Amino acid sequence: MTDSNDILRRLDALEATEDIKKLKARYFRFVDEKKHDELGGLFTPDARIVTDGVAWPSREAFVEVIRDLIGAAPTVHHGHMPEIDILGADTASGIWAMEDLLTFPDAPDAPEGHRGYGQYRETYRKVDGHWLIDSLELTRFRMDPLPNWSPDA
């Protein structure tokens, strides 16, 4: 028979898992909606962020690059199949399958658009009652090039 402490522990773990899923959903939405100030607030102040082998010195530097690189580009980011492990009352880890689509306005110096597939490996920390991303490592397994677009076409 399950005692009440075990039930409470399991309920806390379920609530934490759902809170972390919402956190990651906001991450993807804020990137696509260009809510850069809000995006930075999803990370702990000392978060470790690595994307495709590039380590960012701070969450602010990461957000600045996101703002500058894809600020004008329509983007679509999806996270799927989360594997979230609650490690303690204030710590957790997760793995997310991901897909992203980026196209840029067609210009001579524009980066190439792509559809990417990969994985996020993350840790989370609960700070002042809220789950935040404490580390993020994005690895893309495949990137298919996409043509850029002309706003006048």
**Structural domain boundaries in the chain:** 4-146
137 neighbors 120 (Cβ within 8 angstroms): yes
Q: Is 145 helix (H, G, I), strand (E, B) or coil?
A: strand
Q: Which CATH architecture has domain 4-146?
A: Roll (3.10)
Bridge-based pairing state of the strands 43-51 and 130-146: parallel
Predicted local confidence at residue 153, as pLDDT: 57
The residue among 21, 29, 19 whose CA lies nearest residue 129 is 19
Alpha carbons 25 and 116: distance in angstroms, whole number: 18
pLDDT tens sequence across 44-81: 999 999 999 999 999 999 999 999 988 778 899 999 99
The residue among 109, 43, 101, 36 whose CA lies nearest residue 74 is 101
pLDDT tens sequence across 119-148: 999 999 999 999 999 999 999 999 999 988
Alpha carbons 145 and 2: distance in angstroms, whole number: 53
The model carries a pTM of 0.92
